[in-house]
Structure formats: structure tokens, C-alpha cells
A = this chain, B = another copy of it.
Amino acid sequence: MENKIPYKIYLEESEMPQQWYNVRADMKKKPAPILNPDTLKPVTVEELEPIFCTELAKQELDDTTPYFDIPEEIRSFYKMYRPSPLVRAYCLEKKLGTPAHIYYKFEGNNTSGSHKLNSAIAQAYYAKKQGLKGVTTETGAGQWGTALSMACSYFDLDCQVYMVKCSYEQKPFRREVMRTYGAKVTPSPSMSTEIGKKINAEFPGTTGSLGCAISEAVEAATTQEGYRYVLGSVLSQVLLHQSVIGLETIAALKKYDIKADTVIGCAGGGSNLGGLISPFAGEMLRGENDYKIIAVEPASCPSLTRGKYAYDFCDTGKVCPLAKMYTLGSGFIPSANHAGGLRYHGMSSVVSELYDQGLLEARSVEQTSVFEAAQQFARVEGILPAPESSHAIKVAIDEALKCKETGEEKNIVFGLTGTGYFDMVAYQKFNDGEMNDYIPTDEELEKSFASLPNV
């Protein structure tokens, strides 16, 4: 099986991106601005400053600068776990008997276990540079909280994580990783914030939600001197930092003169998808190249395929700015049966607008088929994928099997965002044949759409 293209394409450190790419700069029609929930006018940097670090607030609102220099300190940190490999899935191809060439950009080779670290280290850096004491955030499954804990530990920043209570209890190991990195982890809703007290009073015994944890983290940031709030997905600044994934992917493909045909990413809030596809979409927007880009979401939380493109709240407490996005309504919570992550009700406004402009298509997949794909992949490629990542695997396999029918030698690239070591409860359900698929009914969606603000 010797081949000119190695199993793993690694860039040299000197070939790593020096700048992040801001796809908004190449979009003629820009994503709709985020709005101040009180005035319903586009928010300004000044309005964001009490919540976000100033530099990050500027990045959030800048839709014209195409490239941002990656500060030297961040590039040094990146070198500890980047460049990440672009892997040729020779063994999967052989197993499928497909003429397609399958590549995956593997972001799981770091302790956070996912791509989240790319933005965590950037956000921690700007907080440190601003002279802050610490940051607050929320985490659901725990990937983002772990990544942020690592980043804060590196820059000696205090890190306060509001962890959705059911995850806090069901994923004690994630919690311990964060504690090992020095983070303070609080189950949400807690009794240490006003909004937490209110939610606990209204819904006694609630096990929390991401939207609720966001509200608590924002409150904690704005009521403590020297703290700001940071977020691991959805935001445009996060997509900017995550563009390092797509930029490295394109550089690695170029190194071996490979032209991608299909680019596939899983989609929750859009951090990985946006990061992976931005540079590809940029080439399309500039008329340089054409790609088939596919966003894959769970059938149980189908914001792109069944959501509305509208302004919505980003959090349960409604303290964050309003964003125009594909959304299921901020009151939507996927069934507890859904194990596979990607549970956010909305979608990055950048990804939403690219989708609306037809630059990418979307597919939803059911979780049993996702875990089947995960297991098939794990058995031949060796890596145990995160459930989130496995959504992309599922569609990559589907596309490769289509090529088997047509005989096409397409180059299929997908993002393998992370590893599943902390998701073994879900794997156990799958191994025991106890996994259920859940798809919200039209009636359920109509109900949650009713929570959309009238903007």
C-alpha cells in the first residue's frame, strides 16, 4: 500500500498559517448584524466591551478585514499540538471498496480532545493581554470547558466554568480534567447567580441546559471586577480563530497537488464547520474554485434543515445580543435520548448566511446511523471518534459509496473534530443496542418557533 500520498500529511511548522481568515470580508452580502436586545439596533464595540475582551469584540464586528495576524504567543501554543494531520483514510477506502479518496483533518490530538482549543487559546490570550483576572464560560459536553481550562492555565488566568448540571453529574471525568488544569467548575443552574437562583426556583430539580449556563456565565463575568465572558462556538470571532483548520487543510492538499471535490463538516453551533469551510467558501466567493460543501447535523436538532432563518436569542436568560441565524427557537431542547452532541438551538450567523446564499448544503442524520459509522471508522482507521465528529463520518461514507456506484475518483475531505474518550456512556448504549433515534415532530418545532422574538 505504498503511495506517493502519505497516510498523514503534516505541514512543517514554517508552513503553518500566520493569519486567520475572515470569510465575511469576501461575502458581498454580509451576515446580518447582531442586535442589542434593548434597542434592536446593531451592537457596537462599546456595548460589547462589558461582556467581551475589547480585541475580541472588534473581531466580532469586523466584516471587512480578510486576514488577522495570529499573535506570536498563540502561534507558539499552536505548535504544541498543531499542525494537525490531514489523514488519507486508506483503510476506510479499502473497506468500502470505493474509488474515492477520503481525507480527514484530525483535530483530536490534544488533551481537550477537539478543535475547541484553537479558539480557547486565542480568547485567553486577548484576556491576558487586556490585563484581566479571569474569564467565565459555560460548557455542555465539556470539550470547550476543557479547552478553555488548558488555555487559561497556560496564561495563568482564573477560569470559571458553568457546566450543564446533567453533564456535571454524568461526566465527572471531564470535570476532573478541568480541575486538573485549575478551573473552578460549577454545576448549572447554580445558586451563585441571580439567573441561576431564578431558574432553580421556577424549575426545581432541573438538570440545566446550555442556554441557561450561558446566562449564568455572562452574569458572572459582568458582576466580577476584571472578568469577561468567552464562548466556544456560534460567534464570528470563534469562526475566525477556527479558520486555522481550513487554512491548514488547503495548504496540506496543495502540498500534494490535491483538489478537494467535497468538503464535509458536522454542525452544532458552527465552530468546526465554519472553521473548516471558510477558506474553501472564500475561494468560491472569489470565483477561484468550486466545491460541494456539506453541513451535517443531527436529525434531533435540525437547525439548518428544518429551522427558520430569523433573529433569535442566543441564551435562555435573553441577556446576549440577538443574532440572525437558522434556529429552532431558543426554547428548543433536543430529547435526552440524543447522545451525539450538537445540541444548540441555533447556528452561527456566518454559516447561516453562507447556507442561505447556497454556498453549502445541509443534511440531517439519525444517531444510530452516526454511531454505526463511528464504529466502522474506528475499526479500520483506529481512531475512536467523538459522536459529533461522527456525523461528518456518516456523510463522508455515504458520499464515498456513491462514488463506488458511479466509479468517480472524487476527493472527499471531512473534519474529524475530536475523540470520543469521554463519550463512552453513549457508546455503551450503542453497544448494548439501547440507542433510540428521535426526530422532533412538526408540531414540536412549531411550538418552539413560537418563542422567536418579533424582530
Contacts and interface: CB of A to CB of B under 8 A. Distances in A.
A186 interface: no
A318 to B, nearest CB: 35
A424 B379 contact: no
A379 B79 contact: no
Given A150-B382, A153-B379, A379-B182, A427 B79 contact: no
Nearest to A429: B176
A173 interface: yes
Which of A154, A180, A419: most chain B CB closer than 10 A? A180
Contacts of A419: 111
Interface in A339-395: 375, 378-384
Interface stretch (A4-12, A268-276, A442-450): A4-12
A64 interface: no
A172 interface: yes
Contacts of A8: 13, 79
Contacts of A383: 110-111
Nearest to A1: B76
Contacts of A384: 111, 177, 180
A81 B172 contact: no
Contacts of A154: 91, 379-380, 382
A375 B153 CA distance: 11
Nearest to A76: B1
A384 B149 CA distance: 12
Contacts of A256: none
A109 B109 contact: yes
Contacts of A182: 379
B180 A431 contact: yes
Interface in A68-87: 72, 76-77, 79-81, 87
Contact of A427 (B1, B177, B430): B177
Which of A90, A109, A176: most chain B CB closer than 10 A? A176
A150 B419 CA distance: 15
A428 interface: yes
Nearest to A152: B379
Interface of A: 1, 6-8, 10, 12-13, 72, 76-77, 79-81, 87, 90-91, 109-111, 113, 117, 150, 153-154, 172-173, 176-177, 179-182, 375, 378-384, 419, 421-422, 424-425, 427-428, 430-431
17 contacts: A1-B72, A6-B12, A7-B80, A8-B13, A77-B382, A80-B91, A109-B109, A111-B383, A117-B382, A172-B424, A173-B424, A176-B424, A179-B427, A179-B431, A180-B378, A180-B430, A181-B378
